[in-house]
Amino acid sequence: MALIEKVDGIVEMYGSNPGGLIAILQDIQDEYRYLDREAIIRVAHDLKLPVSQVYSVANFYNAFSLAPTGKHIVSVCLGTACYVKGAGLILDRLEREMEIKIGETTGDRLFTLQGVRCLGCCSIAPVITIDGEIYGEIKQERISKILESYK
């Protein structure tokens, strides 16, 4: 389905109500994994809001990404429990292996690296997830092999 129709459908689901803006953007993000410029403009049009307002909401909340993400999303838990158990070193290693910084996507669009906060499995800290698959008690040494398996 074309983007415009999809967006219109989602907006309608929330009764074209500006109070539903965040939920609308979440649904679009779930569908496309990021908020395309065109989608934002369409939401503003449908809700009769200024584009700048929709942009500022999309920008404010961490749940939204304004740039397309890579094929696989690698998330490092940077919650306190993981942090005291060395999540910082795990992040360093991921950044080195992927040759990108946190928040970025690799040149070949294969991986996006992001930080998340407490996945609720602190008993197996430190934790990373790749596309939702959880890797607990992660050690730096295991990282290259794990990444390799997604290539």
Partner 1 sequence: MSIEIKDLDKIKESGFKSLNPDSLRITVGMASCGLATGAQKVFDALVEAVKGSGLDARVVRVGCIGYCEKEPLVEVTGPELPRICYPDMTPERAGELVKSLAVGNYREDMALFRASKDNAAEPPGEVKDIVAFDELPYFKRQKRYVLDNAGVIDPENIEEYIARGGYSSIGKIFKEKISPEDVIETIKKSGLRGRGGAGFPTYRKWESARRAGGYPKYVICNADEGDPGAFMDRNILESDPHSVIEGMIIGGYAIGAGQGIVYIRHEYPLAVKRLGLALKQAREKGLLGRDIMGSGFDFDIGMSRGGGAFVCGESSALIASIEGKVGEPRPKFVHMAESGLWECPTVLNNVKTWASVTNIIRKGAESFSQIGTDKSKGTMIFALVGKIKNTGLVEVPMGIKLRDLIYEIGGGIQGDKKFKAVQTGGPSGGCVPEKLLDLPVDYEALTEAGSMMGSGGMIVMDEETCMVNIAKYFLNFTMEESCGKCTPCREGIKQMYEILDRITKGEGRPEDIETLETLGHIIKETSLCQLGGSAPNPVLTTLRYFKDEYMAHINEKKCPAGVCTALIEYSIDADNCTGCGLCLKNCPVNAISGEKKQTHTIDPAMCIKCGICRSVCPFEAVILK
**Which stretches of the chain bind partner 1, using CB under 8 A?**
17-23, 25-26, 56-57, 60-64, 78-85, 89, 92-93, 96, 116-125, 127, 134, 136, 139-141
Rounded (10°) CA dihedral 67, 68, 72, 76 = 10
20/115 with CB nearer ligand FES = 115
20/41 with CB nearer partner 1 = 20
Instruction: Please state whether the peptide bond connecting residue 18 to the residue before it is cis, i.e. omega within 30 degrees of 0.
Output: no
Residue 2 Cβ, how far from partner 1 at the closest point, in Å? 25
Residue 132 Cβ, how far from ligand FES at the closest point, in Å? 14
Residue 132 Cβ, how far from partner 1 at the closest point, in Å? 9
CB atoms within 10 A of CB 116: 16
The entry of ligand FES, partner 1, none near residue 150 (CB within 5 to 8 angstroms by kind) is none
Q: Which residues on adjacent β-strands are paired with residue 64?
A: none
Inter-axis angle of helices 21-32 and 37-47, to 10 degrees? 150
Q: Which two tokens stand for residue 81?
A: 């429990």
